[in-house]
Structure 1
Amino acid sequence: MHTLTPTHEPATSAVPLLELFRRMTLTRQLDRRITALTEAGLIKGPMHLGIGQEAVGIGATALLEAGDIVTATHRPHALYVGCGLPLGATFAEMMGRVGGQGKGRGGHMLIGDREHGLLGPSGIVGHSLLLSVGHGMAHKRAGQSRVTLCVTGDGSVNSGAFNESLNMLALWRLPVVVLVENNGYGLSVRLDRHVHETELHRRGAAYGVPATRVDGSDVEAVRDAVAEAFTRARTGGGPTLVEAVTFRDCAFSGSDRGGYRWEDEWEGYTDPLELTAARLREAGVLETDLARITREVDEEIEAAVAFAAASPWPDPADLLVYAARWDGGEPR
């Protein structure tokens, strides 16, 4: 579907392609299991899946280092996997159980995990940019070669948060990589209906921010583009804007009424898992190895769901404890 090519040399990654394939497979199967749990009433609320977009989040997180920070949006499941969040706790959080990262009070798109560097997911469009300014400034003031990976969507590029934050990131040369997942829609609004210039990486030029555009179906292309941006940020070069052109092969959310997509949109679509599997076969990986990965992923997910289902429900009395701590005190 896309013929975009990075203009830099490929990065040397400690994460082999087979492991990236495993993480993408895990993300795909995670979303499918979430769908089944939602339909069964075990997960409540509208669900924002990322089927078709797995290569973006997995590729972007492949070169994170200890101390780096990731901010996410309302479609964060690939980042959960890429950051290494424990699946049992993640399912427990989605199912509203105390075994979750937020003790069951955050839900699927508000999971934060300090230990794994995932902070501040938000359902507010463009909000992750605002958080990244603060995180980036903290890294710079501490004199650390740490990076904030700020993930946002194409629907945020017209927001004040996106543009004001990008200006501040550039002005203060903060170590932040802004990754725009361009799946062609802001909810149900086509990209060309709300922006004139649909190559969103060009926004960087207005702020003096280096920018690039990559094929979001190609996990290696995403990894390499983000790797170059990470190097720039770690060495004092400031922010980079990376646009990953991808495709949402699912509804916007469980509340999506449909009727806004073109019938031929799927023609020429490149599935990121199929693309990666083909490269692995060319490299000599056997079909049995790929099948084993899928089987092991399914087993991992089933074990995580079992952990979540066995986790107790929150005690309503604990709400007072959390409210008091949020206000900086203790319950009376």
Structure 2
Amino acid sequence: MHTSTREPESTTLTNTPLELFRRMTLARRLDERIPALQEAGLIKGPMHLGIGQEAVGIGATSVLDRGDLVTATHRPHALYVGCGLPLGPTLAEMMGRAGGQGKGRGGHMLVGDRDHGLLGPSGIVGHSLLLAVGHGLAHKRAREGRVTLCVTGDGSVNSGAFNESLNMLALWQLPVVVLVENNGYGLSVRLDRHVYETELHRRGAAYGVPAVRVDGSDVEAVRDAVAGAFVRARTGGGPTLVEAVTFRDCAFSGADRGGYRQEDEWEGYVDPVELAAARLRAAGTSPEDLARVTGEVDAELDEAVAFATASPWPDPADMRVYAAQWDGEDPR
């Protein structure tokens, strides 16, 4: 048995403060659990964790309806949780097991799930925008009110993919919401060292795209900003650029050598999970209820890890993409 799947639901069921807190807690606990799985040899290779950035992915995906799509970046775990991917297969994919969505071929950043509207992320900077143009055009032609949420990072804003795609989205008035997850660094390069105008939402004006900047530590603020952009897209208003200013409270990846951040960068940092918990307590949610949610999240992760570790290794015959027959003679 593994973590149950959740079909994308009506937004009214997925964006309550307690549910947002639960999902952020699940994303946080997942990223905190992964290093231990790496140390145990169950997951290989560098991982791109999103500790500190949970509010962006969870808040944005909470407004999705059935049929909407998400294109993602290389730091996608909060999006996996927000889209409702079953965590058992997701962890199996990270472990290279046959029970994963890609039968172990993809790894942690290449998980796609058609049933939950998630197109496979990748490590190619800006790739999500190119996919969003195509799917946005398909949405517009279908006239079914569907929207693509395109998540990208601040490191992509100088790429041709970002600027050419934003231009096409505006020119064709496609139902796409471009969400820039601005954590201040493109790998180890600080934002102000590769971008003159660090308020990235201002880029929308050059293309005639409405834009908004939001506190990426505030899951409700992210939810509300993206929800407004989705309403605009669904009703024929075209694309919106949303910049969520967030903070990566972890290394870039397992291969990060560090040494590029200043000690005072953590001053004023607001933990999004703690902020959501504080608001719930102020609104009357008891500490016991919050502890119960956290306990349920840990149990869900335990179940997912058990499913993944019990999943078999892929059959080598299934891993071959192409095998040419050769009778010993030069095939040329």
TM range (shorter): over 0.9
- Is the contact made by 1:13 and 1:63 (CA closer than 8 Å) also made in structure 2? no
Matched, 1:162 2:173: no
Q: Normalising by structure 1, report the TM-score.
A: 0.93
Do the aligned partners of 1:29 and 1:298 also contact (CA within 8 Å) in 2?
yes
Residue identity over aligned pairs, in percent, reads: 84
Q: Does 1:57 align with 2:57?
A: yes
Aligned to 1:328: none
* Residue 289 (structure 1) shift: 0.6
Aligned to 1:23: 23
**What RMSD over aligned residues (CA atoms) do the two structures have, in Å?**
1.4
- TM-score, with length taken from structure 2: 0.93
State the match for 2:271 in structure 1. Answer: 271
AA at the equivalent of 1:178: V
Please show how residues 282-293 of structure 1 align to structure 2 within 5 Å. Answer: 282-293=282-293
Structure 2: stretches of 5+ with no match in the other structure: 1-10, 325-332
Aligned equivalent of 1:315: 315
Give the match for residue 192 of structure 1.
Answer: 192
Q: Distance in 2 between matches of 1:14 and 1:24?
A: 12
Alpha-carbon distance in 2 for matches of 1:322, 1:306? 33
Deviation for aligned residue 1:41: 1.6
* TM-superposed deviation, 1:320: 3.1
Find the counterpart in structure 2 of residue 68 from structure 1: 68
The corresponding residue for 1:88 is 88
Q: Rate the CA distance shift 1:290–1:226 in 2: closer, same or farther, 3 A.
A: same
Give the number of aligned pairs. Answer: 314
Q: Give the conservation status (yes or no) of the 8 Å contact 1:120–1:131.
A: no
SS in 1 for 2:263: coil
> CA deviation digits over 1:148-171, x for unaligned, max 9?
000000000000000000000000
Partner of 2:133: 133
Structure 1 pair 117–323 and aligned structure 2 pair: CA distance change class (3 A): farther
Matched, 1:296 2:273: no
Distance in 2 of aligned mates of 1:129 and 1:322: 30
Q: Is the 8 A contact 1:170 1:209 kept in 2?
A: yes
Q: What's 2:111 paired with?
A: 111
* Residue deviations 1:9-39 (CA, integer Å, cap 9, x gap): xx97752100100000000000011111112
User: Contact 1:179 / 1:242 at 8 angstroms: preserved in 2?
Assistant: yes
Q: For residues 116-171 of structure 1, give each alpha carbon's deviation from its aligned partner in whole angstroms, at most 9, with x where no partner exists.
A: 00013111011100000011011111112000000000000000000000000000
**How far apart, in 2, do the equivalents of 1:75 and 1:40 lie?**
22
In 1: Cα distance, 2:103 partner to 2:126 partner: 26
Separation in 2, partners of 1:322, 1:129: 30
State the partner residue of 1:153: 153
Shift in alpha-carbon separation, 1:190–1:174, aligned structure 2, 3 A = same
Task: Report the equivalent of 1:204.
Answer: 204
Distance in 1 between residues matched to 2:29 and 2:315, nearest whole Å: 31
Q: Does 1:98 pair with 2:98?
A: yes
Displacement after TM superposition at 1:238 (Å): 0.4
Instruction: Tell me if structure 2 keeps the 8 A contact 1:93–1:101.
Output: yes
Cross-structure match for 2:33: 33
Tell me, which stretches of 5 or more residues in structure 1 are unaligned? Answer: 1-10, 325-332
